[in-house]
Structure 1
């Protein structure tokens, strides 16, 4: 679940009632925790944060963070401890043992396969299907993974230890672990008799075949590899080889990993030998050909070059599958530097398209050479798009438009920096109003500024005086009400806002977000036209909106550049179409009404405009 970086939606301090509810939920989920241990994990007076995140596959997860380390995570209304918690309480969950080399596979997203499980003399831990369990490695009881059992212990034994044993959710070295202080697991020696003794100097545990052979007086042979997953197959014994010594096992694992790395890097050797600029040029050409072949339609032409870049080549603000996973297209890092220069090269040297300046300063793609040999024979690399192909099969790539989640935020100004110094918030740090209130409240209480007579007031100290008072108030104002204290602080912070598009990283911009603006203007012979601006800020494609409006109102539309703006255009529609266009944005695209202005300019009944 956390094999790849996740996106943080919110980070707030837990409330008192929620803290008590969390204690109850943890106690129910982990009944073996004593009251003392529970109070240690969820202290009553220490700051505990609730962080809501979206995993890379879109799963909504809630984290509970203490001392900057996530201690629990909640997924689908079920609580799980993190490795940080299990290192303090290693016996909290039933634990399966595996080899150290398997950890790398688990961290990469693989589940724990039963042939890779080491069975100690005491037997497997008793679990039920779906029960939360942990995974550790031989010679160290500190758990390195958390997951759920895919079957009960009796079913595992009944299937001869074949198939998938633990569905892994979280591991040491994954992005959830990296969200904390990135400490390593402690060294906790196994309990005596917990791991098979091979009689060698290392004292390392044996696999299931060896343990059963020694303690039952008969050797049942090596485990078959038919049901092993590709990630764990190399770690099992092959038929006829018998038991390997430690050195041979490590050599085999290293050899297989080396071969895997060589196979996986075959396609990267050529790229690694090129300069970063050459790599970016190749990526730019690949994205360009992919966009032309799979995205652009003849009916869309002529197409603004800026729209082509924004919607089909660079994944902003919506995901785009033309750019391979793990790579980011940056024109400035290529040899072309500008889109116009790149398109000119594609036109003159590759003969792929025709670009013309249909209006002053605005270039458009007017034609595409669909029969071009280079374009016809281009096929996107499959490796870089596997995950996106999965997303497409789930319908995510063609999902309908959803408006962004817009949150008003504030950044620390230079004047307020002394007030936020204790909380390690520097100039430009972005805060929500609730975070600002929490920091300010802590500051007041820490410096004992609450008025002793009337606790609704706060005494002004020199820092508050410099940060919040006007010069004329220096000698007059000695106290402020709490609400006045908060409002003055917000007034002196810089406004900004956060946009969260579904499945995308949050985007933070300065100032208030500009609303979608409707206006009606007159052209020659007193003809009216409707102008619509700022659609790009909400992830809407002006070209697509213009086409939709053209069909909806049966009137001509044209895109025009906005003076003083590089990449933004406005739609011009013939006639007063405010009512129809506004209704489409509000109903079909679900844009909140407060982010649309100018709807009052709708044509009045009985009056021609």
Structure 2
């Protein structure tokens, strides 16, 4: 597997030009026989391209959107686009699939290829060698999400029977591998029940001697991992479900109505409050960031279709473009269709109808986004209750350095120890008392002229150049006769080498050389008129860029991205669209970052 081990190198990401993004989208549309609006969803605006080299020195390019890798190529100059599992979770039918027993999945995620027999339960007989395929976990009567992507090592007809040995699929990427870890680390969606006709089709594709194949899973994963045979005893739940009347799925018109309702809710709660500078919005962003999270958590219709399965493909419009054209006619949105080179176009949302009668008369409801946010909040609260709040403790430290070493030797202290501010204050006071430097008339002053060692530390002589030279300002000759204790302490600290220690409950403390930098939260204007909030310097606080981007995307209902900063070891930058200082600050504090270590700057660069 290409991503079994950490990448050998990872270059700085770069925004994909609009022309290059349109070309990439057209390649996807042509290669996978998609509609243009489907291409907008799978190749959205704001893509970032990243060049990398795998652990086996194979070059490649990955394309990221909102923190997730969506596509990649392998090989020098290769134009063979491969979808990631993140993309396949959006479009499960993008590739033909094979299913494999649950016991095989851990081996695939560990980097193994899919073997035959024992590895393949169902498959399409039309598969051809070297064809890209997705691999799912076999569940009778259900279709699971793709968990791996690979190339066929044999033709589909060779998978039938027990005679064929060897590899069925050469896996190039899988859930939980290093490429997946570069994304937001979202979990796969749940399996969905197959319609009756699909279930019958799957049964026709089950490999011959299926029961014997299941018994031979140990050929792939070992004896101990062989899954137990399913129980044949009927359960009470099964009996009850057989007696319960089956509910019909949503019709295309009903799906369209619910998507329209979701758009109205999104306009009512979020889109109508966006500043004009937030527009235009790409159609794919509108769909994934605003419409889908606004789907009702409980459907107002008796149906077997779960809310999470309300999708534009199942509507009467069939495509996002068709849906938006209709919404434009109704005055709910104002769209602009932009044609690019080669006739490839994209749809932009120029504004929303916040004064539309349906928006003004809309009554809110609980959305899937609300349910997900509530679940995550409860999870965070549960973690705090179980282990207490993981407060991040930052301790500033100083080490004797250069001129200050002599002072610590004179005071009989270890010159290799790291000292806190309180310890330095106590040490200086003790030294002043021992050397009788305290001014008898004003005890807040010390007689600096009475101690050459302390004077040399606080006012060290400058380095001598060629032929000597005049002493610079701040040398020992310029040391004042009297000095306040607090000023002496400041100069002592300044003469030492700065260090810091960061501690989080449940993790080993980390001590590093250098001053501790606060997390920088700044609002800037990009592309001339769009405000965005940028977060940097968070890595030292044990915070993950991907986790921050994922939580802020849900919390702010705005697009986010993660971008490497320029320079060696410069770290990462998390971007969230809009002026989100309050939301970002509250999230950081909730994660245990002390407020004094959060530096906020507005559009004019002033601290807040």
**Do the structures match in fold with TM over 0.5?**
no
- Higher RCO (CA-CA < 8 Å; seq separation 6+): 2
TM (norm. structure 1) is: 0.37
